[in-house]
Structure 1
């Protein structure tokens, strides 16, 4: 299935690049062609897979395939928009074990890579913002051009509009949490739901159900299953960001801690340290967010605190509860057959530790993703 999505994506991006070349060669080479390479090279295609197997599980057949592949390609492009913009906002220089988009621009024009945490030049940053905007424009064009009957089109456009706004709202809450040093666990979960869960799992599943013209009860059960799995996915990613292997995650370990991200994991650690009156851990966790100057010894101590407070173990328990809830909601949809089984496996897979790694537990810093 991934092959067909990549083929569709390659075809549609090639059309957009050709138009970009007709406008200006520099623009095409620097942004359009680089954006195409960024989108095609890497990524798990997880959002297209949720759309595809939800459609198939709900009875979607060959007539829906063309529209499904087009929407799947659009999901990959909106993901590129999110990643390019996210790396600018987080001043992250690495993505998928390679220079991030703005770092590539910096290397091209200034022959240097920005130091971690230092941020790109204003030119590289602005170029990356435009590239993210371009990805979103291409995605919207694909959705607008999908061959859909009027009723399905109305449903698909409603889901797509909601998803775009939810994603931006979640990104803003993420920034707001950093700026205000939020330590609210409830706010962290709200951010996770909007920034990741809905556009990674819930809304792709909803798009698949809409393409298959699933009834309201089935769609409601599927989207609830997707929301639970999506939240679990981001909580697992937070653990990987703190304890993982950069060769697996494709990002420097500890980036979220250095950036002072208002993650559920850090919020729990603060809460537990306050409840225990552990001023050492409270002060230590307050050092998170200092940027690239957070030393490796301090980072290691913060990671130990995430374990010693029991925060990491509590996140693991919440992931397990969310996975169980996702399974219950999926069962309530009453879907059967091989496609329903594939969807079930996919929902469980997104919250599982990466292959070859263990769940994070007290005394173990080896959990990876």
Structure 2
């Protein structure tokens, strides 16, 4: 898949350069480098192994690789826009897309407010990534029998992703403490476009029946929610060297995570007014210090919320495997699919598979 993605990016950069060299240098080339430069390629892997597990043949490979490349571009769109909305300075241990642009224009001294310019330019870059992704899917050599399903799934996934991003913003703006809304946001923003829809795309490419597809997508939804709940925990308690993002960014940006919703609920039940006040004071605090973040971590642990989130992740991981078993898939591809679901959904210390890496058409750091 990486080779397909490289070739697609080269075509897009060539088109961009034919329009304008500055646009090609500043946006198109940078977008391609950003897309090619990291990530675990988990979405293409779920598509690929679903295709194979559902009986897909070599005839479907060219279309599968093209759609897989589109998934990586829509992921770039989501990450670039997320970092703008969250004002995140880093991604994957490197400057985020808008930070790269700001650094470039601060260095040349021509832009009076490089951060405002960079945010606007990054929004355009995210839009461009989505446009390129759509172009790849529209131009894929899809069999007539599967094209309607592929396009239907793709349209759903795009809208679900944007709906989830909006709910994420809405939760921050309203300081939501609803656990139900937090899970709804997770489902739309992450679970569906990260795992459920890539599985559905792979199954559709293979011409899988409705029963198999329903079981696969249910497994993907459970694993995807678990994946995001794990990411929420890492956002507060993780090591930046491992996550590639500064610790505490979810607190600083005021995200309405399930972890915080559970902590508030448990603190209210226990009458822990000091914990509630601390969480309220620190949520959305852009200048949150390391010492204060440590206090927030202690407060969260005192409520038992992290442990409750871990338990939910465990239940979701088991549910994902139960749904996968109901799909009645067999062979090495089905086993690899089970390993991938375990790798993204299982809690640390469980029987987790090796990290999601290059066993399929992907590879690289998350």
| Bucket of the pairwise TM-score, normalised by the shorter protein | over 0.9
Higher relative contact order (CA 8 A, sep 6+): 2
How far apart in 1 are the matches of 2:114 and 2:247? 20
Structure 1 residues 351, 124: closer, same or farther in 2, change over 3 A?
Answer: same
The corresponding residue for 1:150 is 144
1:262-301 alignment runs, 5 A limit? 262-301=256-295
Q: Deviations over 1:237-281 (max 9, x none)?
A: 011111001011100011001111100000000000000011000
Secondary structure of the corresponding residue to residue 145 of structure 2? helix
Over residues 275-305 of structure 1, what are the superposed CA-to-partner deviations in whole Å (9 max), with x where a residue is unaligned? 0011000001102333322222221111111
Q: How many residues align?
A: 348
Q: Residue in 2 aligned with 1:240?
A: 234
Q: Distance in 1 between matches of 2:64 and 2:97?
A: 28
C-alpha distance in 1, partners of 2:308/2:336? Answer: 29
Verify the 8 A CA contact 1:58 1:209 in the aligned structure 2: yes
- Structure 2: state its 5+ residue gaps: 353-365
Aligned: 1:136 with 2:130 = yes
**Aligned residue in 2 for 1:97:** 93
For residues 97-144 of structure 1, give each alpha carbon's deviation from its aligned partner in whole angstroms, at most 9, with x where no partner exists. Answer: 1110110111111129xxxxxx96221111000000000000000000
TM-score by length of 2: 0.93
1:37 counterpart (33, 39, 49) = 33
Structure 1: segments with no counterpart, 5+ residues: 113-118, 359-368
Q: Distance in 1 between matches of 2:348 and 2:75?
A: 21
Written as runs of structure 1 = structure 2, the 5 A alignment for 1:8-87 is 8-87=4-83
For the aligned residues, what is the CA RMSD? 1.7
User: Shift of the alpha carbon at 1:352?
Assistant: 3.5
Matches of 2:338 and 2:44, distance apart in 1: 15
Runs of 4+ more than 4 Å apart: none
**Whole-angstrom distance in 2 between the partners of 1:196 and 1:59:** 27
Q: State the secondary structure of the residue aligned to 2:191.
A: helix
**What TM-score do you get using the length of structure 1 for normalisation?**
0.92
Q: Could you list the per-position Cα deviations for residues 143-183 of structure 1 after superposition, in whole angstroms to 9, with x for gaps in the alignment? A: 00111122201000000000000000000000000000000
Counterpart CA distance in 2 for 1:56 and 1:156 is 16
TM alignment of 1:160-199, pairs within 5 A: 160-199=154-193
Shift of 1:353: 5.2
Alpha-carbon displacement from aligned partner over 1:281-333 (angstroms, at most 9, x marks no partner): 00011023333222222211111111110000000000000011111100100
Q: Whole-Å Cα distance in 2 between the matches of residues 354 and 274 of structure 1?
A: 29
Partner of 1:111: 107
